[in-house]
């Protein structure tokens, strides 16, 4: 990581928060007049166009790959997660979708233990327990959110965790530009083919939102990546939680969605679980770094 610059990290995270909020609003507005598949296809068209121009500028050799099957599997998982997320945005309160999406690190830890042989430390187990407690608070039986759509969003979080597992496995050989380029190129036909049967001409109202969902889909990843370059994850992750109260206010202002204290409490529990795992991992790495020094000094 480069030199720590917290204020710059905060600025980049503000850009990420604006991007995530913009995607949520665009998803809600677009799915009011078109299918989720069409919204995703239009998003991919914009992303592929922008990324192709970048690849042309830096040289297409930057996006060549010898691991296309892994790109394909990762992209299909991301497509499934994005479909489920946009579907959830179209039928559930925005704050509920964002709260459930925060479970992604929990599923990532479990998948890492199963497929990447990563150890489940006591901190990770505590974080997983807090995360599941948060899920139960949000989608408890009897709540208005005990609905199939809520479990679809849980599926989105699971898909995103699969994407992260693939990304960690691909990172040693694949550049970030190559990963995001192939992801959007593969997702374009995945969304376009099923959308053709239910295609509708976008209204004048839809075109600005099409631009938002396309551009924000790129800027969100870009801003988070730069925030991580300028500050430790322990600083960046708490800022990401600001998405929840922010989207709750946006949902109230734009769609008259009432504040649900159980959703906010559940989201806080899930976030606490994420931070517990993060802090535990940080302590483990610090201990591992100190131990060799002690050994050499003895």
Cα separations in angstroms, 204 against 33, 69, 117, 208, 260:
11, 39, 51, 8, 34
Residue from 208, 229, 175, 212 nearest 13 by CA: 229
Structure confidence at residue 286 (pLDDT): 73
Half-sphere exposure of 278 (CA within 13 A, CB side): 15
How far is Cα 213 from Cα 46, in angstroms, rounded to an integer?
9
Structure confidence at residue 233 (pLDDT): 61
Strand segments (E) across 205-255 = none
How far is Cα 93 from Cα 82, in angstroms, rounded to an integer?
17
Q: Return the residue matching tokens 């049967």.
A: 197
Structure confidence at residue 291 (pLDDT): 64
Residue from 292, 269, 288, 291 nearest 280 by CA: 288
pLDDT in 10s for each residue of the chain, 298 residues: 455 677 888 888 899 899 999 999 999 999 999 999 999 999 999 999 999 999 999 999 989 998 999 999 999 999 999 999 999 999 999 999 998 888 888 887 887 777 767 777 888 888 888 888 988 888 876 666 667 888 899 999 999 988 888 887 888 888 888 988 999 999 999 999 999 999 999 999 999 999 999 999 899 878 887 787 777 665 666 677 788 888 999 999 999 999 888 898 999 898 888 888 778 777 777 777 776 555 444 4
- Chain centroid to CA 224: how far? 10
List helix spans (H) across 31-93. 36-58, 68-91
Structure tokens at 106: 């929990």
Asked whether the whole model's pTM tops 0.75, one would answer yes
Half-sphere exposure of 283 (CA within 13 A, CB side): 10
Residue from 265, 251, 286 nearest 139 by CA: 265
Structure confidence at residue 245 (pLDDT): 87
Burial of 151 (0-12, 13-18, 19+ CB in 10 A): middle
Structure confidence at residue 296 (pLDDT): 47
């Amino acid at each position: 990581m480069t030199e720590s610059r917290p204020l710059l990290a905060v600025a980049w995270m503000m850009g990420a928060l604006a991007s995530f909020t913009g995607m949520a609003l665009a998803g809600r507005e677009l799915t009011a007049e078109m299918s989720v598949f069409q919204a995703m296809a239009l998003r991919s068209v914009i992303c592929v166009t922008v990324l192709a121009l970048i690849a042309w500028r830096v040289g297409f050799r930057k996006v060549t790959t010898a691991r296309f099957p892994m790109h394909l599997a990762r992209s299909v998982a991301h497509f499934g997660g994005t479909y489920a997320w946009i579907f959830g945005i179209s039928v559930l309160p925005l704050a509920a979708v964002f709260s459930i999406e925060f479970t992604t690190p929990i599923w990532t830890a479990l998948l890492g233990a199963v497929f990447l042989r990563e150890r489940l430390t006591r901190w990770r187990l505590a974080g997983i327990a807090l995360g599941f407690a948060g899920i139960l608070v949000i989608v408890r039986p009897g709540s208005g959110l005990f609905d199939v759509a809520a479990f679809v969003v849980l599926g989105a979080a699971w898909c995103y965790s699969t994407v992260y597992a693939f990304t960690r496995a691909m990172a040693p050989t694949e550049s970030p530009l190559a990963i995001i380029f192939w992801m959007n190129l593969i997702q374009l036909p995945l969304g376009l083919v099923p959308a053709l049967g239910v295609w509708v001409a976008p209204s004048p109202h839809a075109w600005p939102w099409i631009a938002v969902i396309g551009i924000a889909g790129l800027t969100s990843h870009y801003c988070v990546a730069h925030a991580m370059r300028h500050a430790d994850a322990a600083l960046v992750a708490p800022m990401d939680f600001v998405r929840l109260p922010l989207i709750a206010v946006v949902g109230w202002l734009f769609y008259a969605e009432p504040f649900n204290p159980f959703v906010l409490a559940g989201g806080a529990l899930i976030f606490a679980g994420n931070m517990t795992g993060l802090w535990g991992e940080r302590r483990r790495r610090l201990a591992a770094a100190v131990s060799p020094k002690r050994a050499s000094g003895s």
